Structure 1
Amino acid sequence: MVRRLVPGELGPTGGPAFTDLLGVCEAWGDTSIVVRPESGDPVTIPLDLVVSGKPVPPRPSVRQRVSVRDAELRTASLAGIGTTALGEWQLRFEPAPVGRVRNRFNSCLGVGDPGLPLADAAEQVRRFYVDRDRPPRIQVELASATEDALRELGWTAVPGRDSHFLLGSLALVRRTLGSESVDGPAAPTVDVDGTRVTVTLGDLTRGEAGIDGDWLGVHNLSVEPAYRRRGLARAVLRELLGWGAEQGATTVWLHVQTDNEPALALYDTLGLRTHHSCRYLEAPVG
């Protein structure tokens, strides 16, 4: 937060007038500073008008208070994902996947009460996915009572697929990303399809996002290994979040695998925090 003088104005006591600007300091030069507020364009302030400044902790996203089920239901809101209710559980199915079959679009969200005994619910899930030529999988909150009960029925964890659900304020993440240019192979290409957007940087970097109300979900952000640590992921994120802001999004969320340390480190610096963690369980064979 920066407190500055307002030239030509008097305060309520007859002395100098001051005003405060809350934002991220993006530049500090010999004669001025540049502050990016939560909304609007960056503001340049002459140094001789700056009275004081202090760090202010960012406000956490109010969405941190939502339930695990409500947060995870945002996945199924994406276009092209069919859903079937099983009590409070939700069977998700992607009829025409592009590329690999993704777990979160082709598994049952097993959070809440399925409305029938767990063994019967698990069997319905198994039949649902077998009938659609998909491996029967249930997404559960990590270390939950539901996970324990399904394991007793013989369901086992899908290796390497545990993930954190990260959540944050879209405006704060955009401010932290900043607006620096990236020396990439090409300008970003933005392809909008209704409530979804895909951003690419040549053949090296790609990311997707989907809007649901004021929530923006980021998916499948990837960078070719030889081109990592060059700011390309940040450049794609900047475009995705900019589009989301134009659609009215205020909260951004995404899944990150628990063993993806570089991605977790990046998102931590951007202010995204873990809301919960989840695991995919697959049905016993036979």
Structure 2
Amino acid sequence: MEISAAGRLEVRITPADVGKRVSVRSLTGEADRGEKFTDTVGVLTSWDNGVLRITRKNGESVLVAESALVAGKSVPAAPARRRGPVAAYEELARVAARAWQPVESERLGEWELRAAAGEEPGACPPGTAAGRRAGFTRRANSVLPLGDTGMPLDEALTAVCRWYAARRLPAYVQTATGAEGTQELLCAELERRGWVREVTAELWVGPLAPVADLGAEPSGVVLSREADEAWLARYRRKGVSEVALRVLGSGPSVWFATVPGEEAPAAIGRCVVDGRWAGFAAVEVDPALRRRGLATAVMAALARRALDEGASAAWLQVEEENAAARELYGGMGFAAHHAYHHYRAPESSAPTGGGTP
């Protein structure tokens, strides 16, 4: 907190600091219970009508009444991690997008509108709730908003909703928070317009070589360029469609790992090699065979292949509530880089017609 020469806490931020990372202390609780304070650190995303909105690293928005402020100051960005690869948010966002490529896409200025959904027999008319389809993975069915659309935000969002309505898909915008260059301001603007944050996860990064060293060769892991029937039998998404297969097989250099089992594979995994990056996904183990090192063996085998192709850094996605995965990946040297979110358009903004923007 900012302390004056007289030893008093001071508020040294104003509405002009919107967009900056700040640290504030505010008064909470009831007066008859004594003064209680809470500290909030994050990006100041708005200051309207006497209320501050501060977006924390995990994307959570905190509202603070200006009248409750006790102290506040702008603060520098969080210090860079001391381990693992250094990467800018935009680089990682583009690498992750290439690992889950859509079936079709379109540019809206510098934004990329992405969709991956096949035709459904007997589907209802476009734009109706009953006629909506669920695409394969939100990442392949959401807007990647990197850069400028060349138009006001409201016009851009209207065009986004029309584009997805024409494909009978809900409109999603993928955003990120918690790192330099992420999109806290866009998150706040979407929330102001009623967009709903449905999914939050984290993208973790780490050095690749230590992962490769975790499993001794030979490990019994079979690598393939395609997801065969055995691999799909273990994959948690049942009834994989032709569109899903296209997305799973997309990427600069895709590898699938399988540990054979009696009826279905004991474990599987997927890795996409893209320049210096190796992206891990779909690491799944037979529930009856967990905690036997199979996930580690799968990732180690994929990491060795990625090293052979020139990669040196690794990334993966971790859900907030998946404590087991967070423990596993943390032990491998991975650490959180940023949080990412999928915002869904409010139903009231979905056009009823099926035309393209």
Do these two structures clear the TM 0.5 threshold for a shared fold by scoring above it?
yes
Partner of 1:239 in structure 2?
Answer: 301
8 Å contact kept, 1:217–1:252? yes
Closer/same/farther in 2, CA of residues 250 and 83 from structure 1, 3 Å limit: farther
1:65 is displaced (CA, Å) by 3.5
Pairing 1:1-286 to 2, within 5 Å after superposition: 60-62=83-85, 64-66=86-88, 68-78=89-99, 80-81=101-102, 82-94=104-116, 101-142=136-177, 144-158=184-198, 161-175=199-213, 177-179=214-216, 187-193=220-226, 195-202=253-260, 203-286=265-348
Query: Which ranges of structure 2 fall in alignment gaps of 5 or more residues?
Result: 1-80, 120-133, 179-183, 227-251, 349-357
Q: How much is the aligned-residue C-alpha RMSD, in angstroms?
A: 2.6
TM-score when normalising by structure 2 = 0.56
Closer/same/farther in 2, CA of residues 95 and 196 from structure 1, 3 Å limit: farther
| CA-to-aligned-CA distance 1:118-142 (integer Å, 9 cap, x gap) | 1122222222222223221111113
Partner of 1:25 in structure 2?
Answer: none
Letter in 1 for 2:174: Q
1:79 is displaced (CA, Å) by 7.2
TM-score when normalising by structure 1 = 0.69
Give secondary structure in 1 for the equivalent of 2:203.
strand
Letter in 1 for 2:83: P
| CA-to-aligned-CA distance 1:17-57 (integer Å, 9 cap, x gap) | xxxxxxxxxxxxxxxxxxxxxxxxxxxxxxxxxxxxxxxxx
Cα distance in 2 for partners of 1:172, 1:96 equals 40
Cα distance in 2 for partners of 1:83, 1:74 equals 16
Cα distance in 2 for partners of 1:100, 1:132 equals 10
Letter in 1 for 2:91: D
Cα distance in 1 for partners of 2:168, 2:259 equals 34
Cα distance in 1 for partners of 2:205, 2:100 equals 21
8 Å contact kept, 1:111–1:141? no
Give secondary structure in 2 for the equivalent of 1:211.
strand
1:95 is displaced (CA, Å) by 5.1
Cα distance in 1 for partners of 2:315, 2:224 equals 20
| CA-to-aligned-CA distance 1:226-285 (integer Å, 9 cap, x gap) | 222111111110111111111111111111111111101111111111111011110111
Cα distance in 2 for partners of 1:166, 1:77 equals 17
1:96 is displaced (CA, Å) by 5.8
Give secondary structure in 1 for the equivalent of 2:280.
strand
Cα distance in 1 for partners of 2:285, 2:274 equals 25
Cα distance in 2 for partners of 1:135, 1:117 equals 21
Letter in 1 for 2:95: R
Structure showing the higher strand proportion among its residues: 1
8 Å contact kept, 2:117–2:135? no
Cα distance in 2 for partners of 1:233, 1:110 equals 33
Cα distance in 2 for partners of 1:69, 1:151 equals 22
8 Å contact kept, 1:174–1:238? yes
8 Å contact kept, 1:190–1:200? yes
Cα distance in 1 for partners of 2:322, 2:206 equals 19
Cα distance in 2 for partners of 1:243, 1:207 equals 13
Q: How many residues align?
A: 219
Give secondary structure in 2 for the equivalent of 1:65.
coil
